[in-house]
Amino acid sequence: MRYLALASVSALLGLVASTSYMPEVVQDGGPTLQYLWGQASAGSFLNHLDERHGDAGQRWSNFLRTSGEDIVRTFYSSQEFRTDLNAKRAVRNGMHRFLRAVKMREINMIAFRPSPYEVRLRLARKLITSFAEQEKIAKQQASDDKLRAWGKELSLNTGYAGTSGS
């Protein structure tokens, strides 16, 4: 009896740890990414966000349209789904629903229970993390472009062209 209680507590702690973990790139990505992650952890994948999320919601939908299908297909073509039995498992685990969602053929929420449908949770998190990484790169590039423009403006204003006078 004591072993059963210990196993139950251990399983519960594992579930809590797996649902509460949020990668740094998602944490740093701001409230929209954190919202998407929280929704996925609670069992909902959203392919469309309302106007409260502003440009970030539009970028999320655009990301899904442009990159989502490749991510979904790569995810479901992994070793885990390569046999006939596992291919059927992929379909059962939402492959077609996710493909329709990322192509915006269905504008809705994919609801799932995280515990028995951990494959769907992993895919939802993969899509969100990939978006967060793309957002981080875009922010860095924008910052770099801004610094280059500032440096160019500074050099033009001071007459310093960045070459030696020799």
Q: What is the pTM of this model?
A: 0.71
Q: Is the per-residue pLDDT at 18 higher than 60?
A: no
**For the segment 76-88, what is each residue's pLDDT rounded down to a tens digit?**
888 777 776 766 7
Q: Is the per-residue pLDDT at 114 higher than 80?
A: no
CA nearest neighbour of 29 among 123, 109, 137: 137
Residue 164's pLDDT is: 52
Q: Is the per-residue pLDDT at 49 higher than 60?
A: yes
Find out whether 128 and 36 touch, Cβ atoms under 8 Å. yes
Q: Which domain holds residue 97?
A: 22-133
Query: With helix as H, strand as E and coil as C, how does the chain read?
Result: CHHHHHHHHHHHHHHHHHHHCCCHHHHHCCHHHHHHHHHHHCCEEECCCCHHHHHHHHHHHHHHHHHHHHHHHHHHCCHHHCCHHHHHHHHHCCHHHHHHHHCCCCCCEEECCCCCCHHHHHHHHHHHHHHHHHHHHHHHHHHHHHHHHHHHHHHHHHCCCCCCCC
The answer to whether the Cα torsion of 156, 158, 164, 166 is positive or negative is positive
Residue 42's pLDDT is: 93
Which two structure tokens, joined as six digits, stand for 42? Answer: 């609670």
Does residue 153 sit within a domain?
Answer: no
Mean pLDDT, to the nearest integer, of 55-79? 93
Return the minimum-mean-pLDDT range out of 10-14, 146-150, 160-164: 10-14
Does residue 94 sit within a domain?
Answer: yes
Number of domains in the chain: 1
Does residue 141 sit within a domain?
Answer: no
Does residue 8 sit within a domain?
Answer: no
Task: In whole angstroms, give the CA distance from residue 43 to residue 115.
Answer: 9
Does residue 54 sit within a domain?
Answer: yes
Residue 80's pLDDT is: 76
Does residue 55 sit within a domain?
Answer: yes
Ramachandran region, residue 54 (left: φ > 0; alpha: ψ -120 to 50; beta: rest)? left
Mean pLDDT, to the nearest integer, of 78-102? 79
32 burial via Cβ count (<10 Å: 0-12, 13-18, 19+): buried
Does residue 146 sit within a domain?
Answer: no
Q: Give whichever of 7-11, 84-88, 110-114, 154-158 has the largest mean pLDDT.
A: 110-114
For the chain, give the percent of residues with pLDDT over 70. Answer: 69
Residue 3's pLDDT is: 41
Does residue 139 sit within a domain?
Answer: no
